[in-house]
Structure 1
């Protein structure tokens, strides 16, 4: 009997985030450069540790330094000397969360949000049209529409109202987006992302997705709080977003950033764009990450936290993570970094941030490799360097 040849597995192309400023393979992680800077680093640092794109905040940048100074020098990439991709968020999450915490629901209107800027008390109108104008003026490669964000404590009626407003605002966004493209005669416009609201109600989430697809969204963000009332990742809602959106559209896990959450969502889909302040904020507080010799898992067992200020690190001359190739681990031991934090030297924040960001890009590399391996056949995802 002739030997049967093994079946040929179809080659599944890697999902990508395609922008006017370059294409990034997915999944990917974006550090938050809210005000056009990732704290304690410069663009050369980011490239050295494998960062390909950053997330900035259109609202904050519109307040300071303003859109005009950025536009005058040629856009955000020129302004911050960054040659990678720039994604800008609307700033609506921060504004609306603040208003809801203060009980100022009346400031959320059918056409947008009106509030007092806490910095100087001036009146600010945040509308879908204005947010798009800001983002085009900043020269973003990916623009995110204004949405009405709810929290886990909001009532079903508030969730429905939030979806209604988010849909209406996205339709206004699409009109403003098309107008900007025509006025600027753009042949390669930025990617337009709509944010999906609906809380923990799958029917409302689906309704929001369907309306955003019909209105012309090219990417989809997970809106609302990503954790339930017990602090557990809303995996079912993320899975619904994956299943109900066009298969080629990138998915934005807005604000999701714990390493185990990246793994959990990549077990659902590979199309994720992650952004979060966790790795850079943790670095500045001396909490660093090191891989264990274990496969990636959604329970977080594949890594450990290294608290560099622990006294025992004063006597450890090995790097934070023996397998890490970041500028910090290849040059310095824990004892030196411990010393820098103790004396509050400015280098401490930079070296710690570079290490944590490299941990994330190494994690992304493993998640990408695992996805490619799964496309060709079953494979265990582990730390390639151990």
Structure 2
């Protein structure tokens, strides 16, 4: 027993050390007598302090303590220290735009059905997020693919004598070059990448800071940040890769004019890849369906979900279909479709706009002036607010003649 207890004690000591807060950690403080009084710290720095109406709290007093330990302010008020979760981090950190709430972000990630693998023969996962915003979904996506990538190489150490010398006059330049080369090689070898793009440099920079600030940037290396128009970025990626072949496993669009980017997104999406669009209004989802039908974009609508306020809903399904009423169809000649001409599964034109073939409605062609939409919640009453997700899948490029 003594032989076994020594290693066990070492493991326990190591665990206890790793469970204490260190410099650059972000933690949550809750007042002991008022749990609703929450403070999210900046990255811990021994020289800094938190000033509140109940006294100051030194970062140095937090460093070295563990989760649920108490720290006392200068006025004698006790606060309990907590490890910050991802959900708390994206919801409580300073924001420039409204974030995608954790429940909604988790739903979106689950809809992509990601299965990352670090195996050499595993297919590379590339996910596009257009509309970086606060970086909340970026972090959730990066966490989902994190297992596919090896650890980011650490920067080369710099000695004290080199820190104050210029790069051109010391070996620090060589160290920096080696670090850059190692990082570049690591990025090229990644098995999973999140490409996130925002039209605003300000929002993109802030989101990058948010991603890098969570747990010492553990998920930051999986993400490439871009600034600009998403359609132009996709075109530039095709040029950079010297190929017109699709390269995206999945894509998410959270943009004011989503329908303007559907064609570009579809061109970069691999067959059977998932394209999820977020819009505040159901009519914007309808605009996307009309665009797909009108321009024969090789996408079909898989499902439509409504999100609740502040992430309160797991996604209520909506019945959203382009249809032609029976009364209107009576005046039209019946077209007999040969069995050999029918598409299988959900890649047919009819299946791309309906999820309920039992309905006594005839699907309309896009050029028919009499076509309209069924647009209603599938069950229960409508939840106010939130937004809508349109989940599309990529057909074969030749699936829509």
More strand by share: 2
TM-score (norm 1): 0.28
Larger Rg: 2
